[in-house]
Structure 1
């Protein structure tokens, strides 16, 4: 078993590196999942212990928590109304689309709901494993959502802004705000000590989360502990390589769940995936104009803030359009935290 796990990890790493060279979104997660899935389908020999998911959850929580800054927290009181409005839209969409998927596409309730959850592909995939959903279907739907939104979003927003003749904000103002948002390292510590401190504190939280037997407890508690550490000590973000390691672990675990039978089922996901993407574009449009008309946000910032793709990817795209980066980041982080902390409990409650 140990030998199979090592081989699976190597295959996952190779797939992640290859996807990275191709500039595929969430490359290490996607590449490792696809590489392990292909070998698993062909040989049936891929293996990764499910207990490894706790390590991936802890690292994921540690990484997410380090994205929260004091400036994001200070933004929250002024953004309460648009955040609540957006979370309401996403929650209603999850339940409506989940019900549609259950009725018309023959998914079980947990798989259908988690497929519509607007969180990160790695986080939601780990949650699906923890909650007993068909993780290969959830991961595939989440991958299609991420890739689809990143491909469509720039053209979609360009079309809306051009149609309604809305000017972008001054690029210099956006750049200045982004500069102010840059995070400072913790004291004089080097990157290695910084990483070890974050992982230590997050691991304590993750272990407490496992002992609490709360669904996805390792992810939730490591996330909370990481946020507290970030706000009190102003630690620097985790090194990207650590996040890539967690993505490889998560992708390898999910890749092992793919079989020839599950691949044959993937053809059934084309229509639900298109339906889900369309629902997110509708929410994006309705929220953006509601927030703009109510004076919460300018139009381009509202469009980016309500886009359910990766928060980092959205920030990179939004920088080219001159949106209000601190507000976009704050709303995206709230969407991300709500998706991994609150929504799984809503799914569990609804199904039970």
Structure 2
């Protein structure tokens, strides 16, 4: 417990230093790097999933509090372009799975589950049941998410001008407003954890947090949470992501060979191409499109959008829709594309 507390404090501190140095999405990137260094060279720690859910609720609640009703007017025009990119994303993942199988020593189902685009926890949990190498699948998805969350905030942040939020507590009135905002966010967080336990589905915590946060905005329109709260939540999320990527993951990928790096590169380039297609078909700017379309985690991408003053709610909506769609399509994809003899063997 002491080691975990020290680690989290160190990761948040590094994230804060990165933010102070004006590194794009510094809270998130700094803590991810701290986590990777800790995992590789100091100690491997296992942080509880409940901590991630709490952080997710804080970030989602903060995004919801920043929502404006007029933002929803843009969403209707996004449905057809989103469906096009969703189908293309799934098709691309299936083709990449065949590509990975063709040029590696992996069995069919391991390659198939490695390249499914998103819903990492659900995909990893199902992979063992269907005769896949669960460790390889976990290593591949962990590396993909870590790589994307490290690279994409830098790509976006270096091209988007970020206006720093002024949250200095200069007088008692501002201090009271900040305390009141934090208390409301705390209520939203607790309510989110309650509802997400009662109603479980992919992205439930983020969905409820944004919805409750938006309700909070309707009730208290002038509410504004101090920026460092969001930053610290992002840093804890980065600490959780970073510590998951360890030597074992790297060794698992190394056992596949260089084709794993080629597959990840193609995955990344495919995300850039899909973001461009979505950008051309919608009024959304390219960087918001990239954060919304790339298969890199709803919370991570929405958090990055919030840090860069982009439309975090839209990014979260697109990401959650992709995860939910994949979750619903997963039984059909497995039935159609998983190799049946491996499935039968694992079930037997």
Q: TM-score range, shorter-chain basis?
A: 0.5 to 0.7
Among 303, 320, 324, which residue is 1:345 paired with? 324
Q: Sort the Cα spacing of 1:92 and 1:238 in 2 relative to 1 into closer, same or farther, 3 A.
A: farther
2:145 corresponds to 1:139? yes
Instruction: Verify: 1:333 aligned to 2:313, yes or no.
Output: yes
Aligned-partner Cα distance in 1 for 2:241–2:306: 27
Alignment counterpart, residue 156 of structure 2, candidates 129, 132, 150: 150
Preserved contact between residue 229 and residue 235 of structure 1 (Cα < 8 Å): no
The CA distance in 2 between the partners of 1:45 and 1:216, in whole Å, is 27
TM-score by length of 1: 0.67
Residues 1:191 and 2:178 aligned together = yes
- Map of 1:201-350 to 2, 5 A cutoff? 201-264=188-251, 265=253, 270-291=261-282, 297=283, 303=286, 306-308=289-291, 329=311, 333-340=313-320, 342-350=321-329
Residue deviations 1:259-296 (CA, integer Å, cap 9, x gap): 212134387654334323433443344444445xxxxx
Do the aligned partners of 1:205 and 1:224 also contact (CA within 8 Å) in 2?
no
8 Å contact kept, 2:34–2:242: yes
Instruction: State the number of aligned residues.
Output: 284
Counterparts of 1:189 and 1:205 in 2: how far apart (Å)?
24
CA gap of 1:103–1:243, structure 2 versus 1, over 3 A, is farther
**Partner of 1:228: helix, strand, or coil?**
helix
Give 1:202 shift. Answer: 3.6
Distance 1:279 1:195, change over 3 A: same
Distance 2:302 2:191 in 1: 26
Residues 10 and 274 (structure 1 numbering): CA distance in 2 closer, same or farther, change over 3 Å? same
Q: Aligned in 2, Cα 1:241/1:148: closer, same or farther, shift over 3 Å?
A: closer
CA contact (8 A) 2:32 2:238 kept: yes
Q: Deviations over 1:164-198 (max 9, x none)?
A: xxxxxxxxxxxxxxxxxxxxxxx996122012113
CA distance in 2, matches of 1:7, 1:316: 25
- Matched with 1:160 is none
Q: How far does residue 225 in structure 1 lie from its aligned partner after superposition?
A: 0.9
The corresponding residue for 1:123 is: none
RMSD, aligned CA:
3.6
Q: How far apart, in 1, do the equivalents of 2:224 and 2:262 lie?
A: 38
Q: Give the corresponding residue for 1:62.
A: 61
CA distance in 2, matches of 1:239, 1:111: 39
Secondary structure in 2 aligned to 1:308? helix
Whether contact under 8 Å (1:60, 1:243) holds in the other structure is yes
Which residue in the other structure is 1:38 paired with?
37
Q: Distance in 1 between matches of 2:152 and 2:183?
A: 30
Deviation at 1:205, TM superposition (A): 2.6
Residue 87 (structure 1) aligned with residue 70 (structure 2): no
Q: In the alignment, is the contact (CA less than 8 A) between 2:18 and 2:30 conserved in 1?
A: yes
Shift of 1:256: 2.5
- Whether the aligned pair in 2 keeps the contact of 1:56 and 1:246 (CA below 8 Å) is yes
Q: 1:350 to 1:21 in 2, by over 3 A?
A: same
Paired with 1:207 and 1:131, the residues of 2 have a C-alpha distance of: 25
In 2 relative to 1, CA 93–12 (structure 1 residues): closer, same or farther, beyond 3 Å? farther
2:90·2:117 contact (CA, 8 Å) conserved in 1? no
> Which consecutive residues of structure 2, in runs of 5 or more, have no partner in the other structure?
101-105, 126-137, 161-173, 293-300, 332-348
